[in-house]
């Protein structure tokens, strides 16, 4: 338990707490009822968004990071405002996962005739307050339920949603958006955003890799001391669990994605596109059941590459039949201004050698809001969990600063 971590030597307790809390979170997810649930009349047999997932966004506090993300806010605001005349004036709009109601309010201000703001988490209790504060109660209808279960009085012209998660698809909220599209969007209707891409590039992380290996070695040294003490005092053979404990630390470093700002200076080649989607036609399988091959330039012999950095971008360009007056892009790459999504980094035990890589993605079978990403090349393969855990950003920044210092020396 996390409480037991406080008895460890200085420098180990924080690490212990992190691992313990991650294990506790995984146990909580595993206990969630995951049987697929169908809403009346729904055409999908996909599981509904779980209460565990919805709890991630149930408080106003949970939305502050998104509201503070000015790249995110500007992209949605500009996309709606600059295309008000062609896509919103006099139209019916559905906001999927409305959160604090911001997109619904902007759609109404852009001239929409009716806006349906759908939000199943606890924060939905505050949307009506926001709507009334902006004088839009006659235009915005708040529906506090899962979009899979909602019944609208009419088809809609536009669907707006901020559905993107880490590595584009973590959270699986896009499932709800696709279902809403298939059920409620008029033929020729418009999706906001209209297009999405997932990209990947190699990175050099020598200090980051060394730090992870040192942490594992330090944790195992502390374990051996604890095991020796317990055996001396109580004849307990804790060493019987040593291999399993070391495996836990290893998995934490090399089998879970690192989520944080990765400075562009740590990238070592141009990105490759893993996935490109038109939101008007993309299917669930195209998002969550795929593999693709990519290849990067061979690394320099004196600079092994132990990282793969992933990010996404989305565009608001309308549909083929109703193109936007002005396209707007939201870019989460290391080259762009930082966003609350940051980037997703996969730490490799084996360095890249320029051989082709096969990258595959699927939803986690136990908690469908998380992702499983597999990278393979020739005789080796590595799998990663992409979860809600945000970690690694400070270390990446330190590595970039150290690299700049060496170049300037």
13-28 CB burial, b ≥16 within 10 A, e <16: bebbbebeebeeeeee
Total residue count of the chain as it appears in this document: 409
- How many CB atoms are closer than 10 A to CB 409? 5
Q: Which residue, chain included where needed, has tokens 């809390």?
A: 21
Burial of 153 (0-12, 13-18, 19+ CB in 10 A): exposed
Cα–Cα dist 383/381, whole Å: 7
Name, in order, each residue with C-beta under 8 angstroms of 234's C-beta and a sequence gap of 6 or more.
Answer: none
Beta-strand pair 195-203/307-318: antiparallel
Query: At 140, which helix (H) or strand (E)?
Result: strand 140-143
Burial of 339 (0-12, 13-18, 19+ CB in 10 A): buried
Q: Is 36 helix (H, G, I), strand (E, B) or coil?
A: coil
DSSP 281: T
Structure tokens, 352: 């890249």
Structure tokens, 171: 């959270």
- How many CB atoms are closer than 10 A to CB 238? 16
Residue 161 near residue 96 (C-beta atoms within 8 A): yes
Name, in order, each residue with C-beta under 8 angstroms of 409's C-beta and a sequence gap of 6 or more.
Answer: none
Q: 102, 279, 53: which is closest to 185 by C-alpha?
A: 279
Active-site residue set: 162, 171
Cis peptide before 170 (omega within 30 of 0): no
How many angstroms separate the most distant Cα atoms in the chain?
78
Q: Is 37 helix (H, G, I), strand (E, B) or coil?
A: coil
């Amino acid at each position: 338990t996390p409480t037991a971590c406080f008895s460890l030597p200085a420098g180990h307790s924080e690490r212990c707490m992190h691992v313990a809390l991650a294990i506790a979170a995984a146990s909580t997810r595993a206990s969630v009822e995951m049987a697929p649930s169908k809403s009346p009349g729904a055409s999908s047999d996909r599981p509904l968004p779980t209460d565990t997932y919805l709890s991630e966004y149930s408080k106003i506090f949970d939305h502050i990071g998104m509201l503070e993300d000015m790249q995110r806010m500007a992209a949605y605001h500009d996309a709606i405002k600059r295309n008000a005349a062609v896509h919103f004036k006099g139209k019916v709009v559905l906001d999927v996962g409305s959160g604090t109601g911001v997109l619904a309010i902007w759609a109404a201000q852009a001239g929409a005739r009716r806006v349906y703001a759908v939000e199943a988490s606890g924060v939905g209790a505050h949307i009506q307050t926001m709507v009334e504060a902006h004088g839009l109660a006659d235009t915005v209808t708040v529906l506090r339920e899962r979009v899979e279960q909602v019944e609208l009085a009419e088809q809609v012209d536009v669907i707006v949603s901020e559905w993107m998660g880490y590595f584009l698809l973590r959270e699986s909220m896009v499932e709800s958006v696709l279902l809403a599209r298939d059920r409620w969007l008029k033929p020729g209707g418009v999706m906001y955003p209209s297009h999405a891409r997932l990209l990947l590039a190699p990175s050099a992380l020598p200090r980051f890799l060394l730090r992870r290996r040192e942490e594992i070695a330090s944790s195992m040294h502390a374990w051996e001391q604890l095991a020796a003490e317990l055996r001396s005092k109580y004849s307990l053979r804790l060493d019987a669990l040593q291999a399993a404990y070391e495996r836990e630390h290893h998995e934490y470093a090399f089998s879970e994605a690192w989520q944080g700002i990765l400075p562009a200076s740590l990238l070592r080649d141009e990105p490759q596109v893993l996935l490109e989607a038109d939101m008007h036609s993309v299917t669930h399988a195209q998002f969550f059941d795929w593999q693709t091959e990519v290849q990067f330039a061979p690394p320099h012999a004196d600079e092994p590459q132990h990282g793969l950095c992933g990010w996404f971008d989305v565009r608001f360009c309308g549909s083929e039949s109703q193109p936007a007056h002005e396209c707007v892009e939201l870019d989460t790459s290391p080259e762009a201004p930082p966003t609350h999504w940051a980037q997703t980094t996969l730490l490799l035990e084996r360095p890249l050698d320029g051989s082709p890589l096969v990258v595959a993605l699927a939803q986690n079978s136990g908690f469908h809001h998380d992702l499983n990403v597999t990278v393979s090349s020739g005789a080796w393969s590595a799998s990663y969990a992409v979860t809600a855990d945000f970690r690694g950003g400070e270390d990446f920044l330190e590595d970039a600063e150290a690299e700049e210092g060496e170049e300037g020396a």
